[in-house]
Amino acid sequence: MVPNIFRLDSLAARLIAADAIWAMLALVVGGFVLSNAFRNAVQDNFDDTLVNDMGGLIAAAEPDPQNGVILQDRFINRQFDRVYSGLYYQIRPVSPGPGGQISRSLFDRALIVTPDNARGAVAYGFATGPENQHLRVLSRRVEFPAVETPQPNDTHAYVFTVAGDLSQVEAEIRAFNGTLIWSFVLLGLGLMMAVFLQVRVGLMPLTRLQQSLARIRDGSAQRLEGKFPAEIAPLAAELNSLIEHSNEVVARARTHVSNLAHFLKTPLSVLASEAQAQGGPLSDQVRRQVETMRRQVDHYLARARAAGSVNILGNRTEVAPVLNDLARVLARIHAERAIVIDCDCPPDLCFRGERQDLEEMAGNLMDNACKWAARHVQVRALKAGPVFALTVEDDGVGLSPEDRARVGERGERLDESVPGSGLGLAIVRDISKLYAGSLALGASDLGGLGVRLTLPAIA
């Protein structure tokens, strides 16, 4: 039987849940790390592009006689000439005054820079450009010698600013994150499948151990068989030792019970013989008490023997041979009355218990039916799931509901004319309870008494 992995108390569910949690955490953390690394790489590459554009802008700039800056048509990116192209520059003098310039792409707008950080001579920041574009801005202070003054150290300082639209960068980042998410989702599903297979394969020896125990319980094996991993092999060895020890304890107990039965029956037989030989009221009283003692000894010894054998692993008894053997024996015993015993039992039906216990129960029921039957006794066994029902019916006079209650519940004997101890049904009821079975009395379709015995079956 495959273990249910959806139960929270199962070992497989715990292993899968633990691996899934750690795998998901690792994927989430790894996803954030990769996404951030890609964002930084794209951002740095974009910054390098803006640095190159600023370098070309500075290389194209020359001072003019009016203390301004003119740009030669060289080293300048042509995107500066297209309106709202996403690439802009502006040149502002550090000191208030004329001389500044803006790119044609800005048209009539100005850049308002939000400082971020500085790396050497270049300051980095962000700004909002035309049409609400999100711009990355680089600024650098550049000094040119003054043209109108002869002093060699006289200079004019300007701030060169280059800005680029980050929409393309953000689009690349979104595309990468989308690919990353789907890739990690597929990776996560693959990891979950790998974990599931790993757990199932790893726990397969436990399933084989369970199946081996089931075979022992069904009677098809006497010990755990097969080769188990090093971690489970000691457990299998201990279980085999426990099974052997249990069988030895039960065997010793049953031997003691058998010895006790022989020890008690011999003195009781002697007392019965002496009472029979003496005669008189005292001997009659002794015979009655001896008979009562025999009945009680048989009753409780049968219970003790059944209680000792019911929990033995590996008990398995075929029902059909037991019923057929009993039918042949009882037919010979009641040959003078020509009792016909019909047995109907599937050949593959097996009782989960010992043969002696089944013979004890079925024998008492069939013998009782033969004693009270007129001509016909019908015995049927039918499996119903994990149990089977043994029905014994006769064509005798039957019992009233009140008498059935007295016999079935209290074990009373209603008629002393038929030989027997009167404890047959009580013994059957007690042994069946040890096997978690049940005994019910009812009316037979043949006209007499119908007895239904439910016992555990082997699948």
Mark which of 147, 173, 199 sits at the end of a domain: 173
Q: Is the pLDDT of residue 111 over 90?
A: no
Q: Kindly state whether residues 354 and 417 are assigned to the same domain.
A: yes
Identify whether 25 is part of a domain: no
Q: Kindly state whether residues 168 and 237 are assigned to the same domain.
A: no
Mark which of 173, 204, 234 sits at the end of a domain: 173
- What's the pLDDT at 422? 47
Identify whether 186 is part of a domain: no
Q: Is the pLDDT of residue 99 over 70?
A: no
Phi-psi region of 385 (alpha: psi -120 to 50; beta: other; left: phi over 0): left
Q: What is the CATH number of the domain that holds 327?
A: 3.30.565.10
For tokens 């002696």, name the residue: 356
Identify whether 368 is part of a domain: yes
- What's the pLDDT at 317? 85
Count other C-beta atoms under 10 Å from residue 103's C-beta: 26
Identify whether 6 is part of a domain: no
Backbone angles phi, psi at 399, to 5 degrees: -130, 150
Please state the rounded mean pLDDT for residues 6-16. 72
Q: Kindly state whether residues 346 and 439 are assigned to the same domain.
A: yes
Q: Kindly state whether residues 247 and 159 are assigned to the same domain.
A: no
d(CA 272, CA 264): 12
| Residue pLDDT, tens place only, 124-175 | 888 888 888 889 999 888 887 776 655 556 777 888 899 999 988 999 999 9
Q: Kindly state whether residues 107 and 219 are assigned to the same domain.
A: no
Q: Kindly state whether residues 38 and 161 are assigned to the same domain.
A: yes
Q: Kindly state whether residues 365 and 450 are assigned to the same domain.
A: yes
Q: Kindly state whether residues 325 and 419 are assigned to the same domain.
A: yes
Identify whether 184 is part of a domain: no
Residue 411: pLDDT band (50, 70, 90) is very low
Q: Kindly state whether residues 150 and 76 are assigned to the same domain.
A: yes
DSSP state letter for 151: -
Residue 325: pLDDT band (50, 70, 90) is very high
Identify whether 113 is part of a domain: yes
Domain hosting 231: range is 215-314
Backbone angles phi, psi at 348, to 5 degrees: -100, 10
Q: Kindly state whether residues 381 and 279 are assigned to the same domain.
A: no
Q: Kindly state whether residues 221 and 160 are assigned to the same domain.
A: no
Number of domains in the chain: 3
Strands 449-456 and 438-443: antiparallel
Identify whether 402 is part of a domain: yes
| Residue pLDDT, tens place only, 199-237 | 888 878 888 887 888 777 666 677 777 787 877 788 888
Q: Is the pLDDT of residue 309 over 60?
A: no
Identify whether 270 is part of a domain: yes
d(CA 298, CA 423): 9
Q: Is the pLDDT of residue 386 over 90?
A: no
Inter-helix orientation angle 319-333/355-372, to 10°: 40
- What's the pLDDT at 152? 59
Mark which of 279, 314, 349 sits at the end of a domain: 314
Asked whether 35 and 180 are in contact (CB, 8 A), the reply is yes
Q: Kindly state whether residues 39 and 119 are assigned to the same domain.
A: yes
H or E stretch covering 92: strand 87-93
The structure's pTM equals 0.51
